């Protein structure tokens, strides 16, 4: 199997978990963050080894979800009076978590942008690779969506952070694996080309 996928600076697709409606409920947002961390490890999609802004290092501090819980309980990262967070802002500020994928490795079909015959119309078959790991990503996104909704937030594809073509390859639940390229596929002999 030849690798035809690429990685880019800008996300192909971005999902947004929007907590603006519950911005004054830090305990709910903490519950969401802990669910995301647990799902990332469970689905083997990501694992946080350090978070410099809070001085966190996994080898020294243990699980990040536990550290966040301790910070919330002991250091009161929010202004809370009588158990109710105090919002000092004149207007409610947006609170959101963005999850972006910066590689087309997750899609069943790719343009093969680094391939010498790539025409950015016809696509190469990436279904074998996508079928191996995209279900884990979709499992993660499903659990993140459920956690966001459970605490009163929203979750879905963020059009502003998603490419014009890629928006057709995903939905609010993850990457679609059952679609065919509109402009056709690259011929099999294209895989014989040499490229680096």
- Is 153 in contact with 23 (CB distance < 8 Å)? no
DSSP secondary structure, 30-96, as one string: HHHHHHHHHHHHHTTS----EEGGGTEEHHHH--HHHHHHHIIIII-SS-EETTEE---SSSPPP-E
| pLDDT for 79 beyond 70 | no
Residue among 119, 123, 101 nearest 12 (CA): 101
DSSP secondary structure, 135-168, as one string: HHHHHHHHHHHHHHHHTT-EEEE-GGGS-TTGGG
Q: Residue 152: what pLDDT?
A: 96
Task: Return the structure tokens found at 146.
Answer: 């459920």
Instruction: Note the pTM of the prediction, 2 decimals.
Output: 0.87
Return the CA Rg of the chain.
Answer: 20
181 vs 19, 122, 185, CA distance in Å? 35, 7, 7
Mean pLDDT of the chain: 89
pLDDT tens, residue by residue, 88-137: 555 566 889 999 999 999 999 999 999 999 999 999 999 999 999 999 99
The CA angle 26-150-160, to the nearest 5 degrees, is: 80
**Banded pLDDT at 53 (limits 50, 70, 90):** confident
DSSP secondary structure, 160-195, as one string: GGS-TTGGGGEETTEE--S---TT-B--GGGGGS--
Q: How far apart are CA 64 and CA 39, in angstroms?
A: 13
């Amino acid at each position: 199997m030849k690798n035809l996928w690429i990685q880019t600076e800008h996300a192909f697709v971005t999902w947004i978990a929007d907590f603006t409606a519950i911005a004054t409920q830090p305990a709910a947002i903490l519950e969401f963050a802990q669910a995301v961390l647990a799902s990332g490890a469970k689905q083997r999609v990501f694992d946080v080894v350090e978070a410099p802004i809070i001085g966190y290092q996994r080898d020294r501090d243990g699980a990040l979800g536990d550290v966040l819980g301790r910070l919330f309980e002991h250091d009161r990262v929010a202004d809370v009076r009588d158990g109710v967070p105090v919002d000092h802002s004149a207007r409610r500020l947006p609170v959101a978590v963005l999850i972006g994928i910066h590689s087309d490795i997750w899609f069943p079909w790719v343009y093969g942008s680094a391939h010498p015959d790539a025409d950015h119309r016809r696509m190469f078959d990436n279904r074998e690779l996508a079928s191996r790991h995209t279900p884990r990503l979709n499992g993660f996104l499903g659990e993140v969506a459920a956690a966001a909704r459970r605490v009163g937030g929203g979750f879905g594809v963020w059009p502003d952070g998603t490419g014009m073509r890629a928006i057709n390859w995903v939905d609010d639940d993850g990457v679609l694996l059952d679609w065919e390229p509109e402009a056709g596929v690259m011929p099999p002999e294209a895989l014989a080309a040499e490229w680096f």
